[in-house]
A = this chain, B = another copy of it.
Amino acid sequence: MNIGDVASQTGLPAKTIRYYEDIGLIRPMRDDNGYRRFREQDVHKLIFLGRARALGFTIGDCRTLLALYEDETRASADVKKVARDHLAQIEIKIADLNAMRDTLSHLIDACAGDNRPDCPILSDLSRKS
């Protein structure tokens, strides 16, 4: 399979697939004309990567997860640790965003949103304390 076919099968842009090769996540073969030739195994890995990225794992995590996936003697504890650490990061982000949302929505509620210049949002951003 050529990169275009793989892109439509996996849903990943061709650019991303090339990037994943660049950074060593996959190693497709090459045809005589220089085109990448993808085997089932490569496509499978790319689907794996797409799912892991969709769950927000970093590329570094993906590398680790792929290695664990290919290691038949892995301990599931190792996988679980990667996932739990990532979950902790996500929860921090959620908490940060929730705090922003709360502050923002209060400010928005307090703002008349009319033609007058008085604005609690700007007042808050420029408050002297």
Q: Mark A38-54, 1 if CB is under 8 A from B, else 0.
A: 00000010011001101
Interchain CB contact under 8 A, A74 and B113: no
Flag whether A31 is at the interface (Cβ < 8 A): no
- Kindly identify, within residues 46 to 70 of chain A, every residue whose CB is under 8 Å from any CB belonging to chain B: 47-48, 51-52, 54-56, 65, 68-69
Closest Cβ neighbor of A69 among chain B residues: B122
Flag whether A83 is at the interface (Cβ < 8 A): yes
Interchain CB contact under 8 A, B97 and A101: no
Would you give 22 A-B contacts (Cβ < 8 Å), ordered by A? A48-B125, A56-B97, A56-B100, A69-B126, A74-B119, A75-B114, A75-B117, A76-B112, A76-B114, A76-B118, A77-B114, A79-B121, A80-B113, A80-B119, A83-B104, A84-B108, A87-B101, A87-B105, A90-B100, A90-B104, A93-B93, A94-B94
